[in-house]
């Protein structure tokens, strides 16, 4: 879906919500007065909806002539729409989408990853799946007895995981 791609890969990236299919469109319009474009005077907007394949919520945010910000709808209006959509998810108890797209991250963006389940496994067997984390080991042994955060939680890539080692 083209409008979903705006949020996952395009100018509406600031409205991306992990685990949800969000569609949207950004807008940046230079205002006109007396038939001439006004210098530095814009209306910035974002319209977003979710789930993209069966919308339950539609949000439109327009900011008239914001000051001291980059003049793009995706930069100014999309994060506001995201916050409103997240509140709607909670208020309406909208479940995550099983087929939600993964965000294509830019080098400057924080990437979120799932914590793998490594409990009751040999450290040597799962060490490669922990490469993208800052792992802090305690205890001794070849098996992982406990991990924190728990398996399945989403964290920023490079976050610390605490592992308790021992023998079975």
Question: For residue range 158-168, what is the model confidence (pLDDT) as tens digits?
Answer: 899 999 999 87
Task: Give the model's pLDDT for residue 148.
Answer: 93
Domains in the chain with CATH codes? 2-92 (3.30.450.330), 112-166 (3.30.10.20)
Instruction: Single out the residue of 8, 41, 37, 39 nearest to residue 24, CA to CA.
Output: 8
Could you read off the pLDDT of 126-150 as tens digits, one per residue?
Answer: 988 888 899 999 999 899 999 999 8
Residue 86 pLDDT:
93
Between CA 24 and CA 21 the distance in angstroms is 10
Asked if residue 48 lies in contact with residue 81, where contact means CB atoms within 8 angstroms, the answer is yes
Distance linking the first and last C-alpha atoms of the chain: 49
Surface-to-core class of residue 130, CB atoms within 10 Å of its CB (0-12 exposed, 13-18 middle, 19+ buried): middle
> C-alpha distances in angstroms, 156 versus 86, 109, 130, 161?
18, 10, 13, 11
Give residue-wise pLDDT tens across range 57-73: 999 999 999 988 888 89
- pLDDT level of residue 105 (50, 70, 90 thresholds): low
Which tokens belong to 123? Answer: 């450290």
């Amino acid at each position: 879906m083209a409008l979903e791609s705006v949020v996952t890969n395009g100018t509406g990236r600031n409205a991306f919500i992990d685990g949800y299919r969000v569609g949207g469109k950004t807008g940046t319009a230079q205002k006109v007065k007396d038939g001439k474009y006004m210098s530095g005077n814009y209306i910035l907007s974002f319209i977003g909806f979710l789930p993209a394949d069966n919308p339950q919520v539609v949000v439109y945010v327009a900011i008239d002539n914001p000051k001291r910000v980059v003049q793009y709808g995706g930069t100014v209006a999309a994060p506001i729409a995201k916050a409103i959509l997240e509140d709607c998810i909670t208020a309406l108890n909208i479940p995550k989408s099983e087929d939600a797209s993964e965000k294509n991250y830019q080098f400057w963006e924080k990437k979120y990853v799932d914590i793998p389940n490594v409990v009751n496994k040999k450290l040597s067997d799962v060490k490669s799946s922990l490469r993208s984390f800052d792992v802090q080991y305690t205890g001794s042994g070849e098996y992982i007895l406990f991990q924190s955060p728990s398996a399945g939680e989403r964290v920023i890539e490079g976050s610390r995981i605490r592992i308790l080692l021992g023998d079975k």
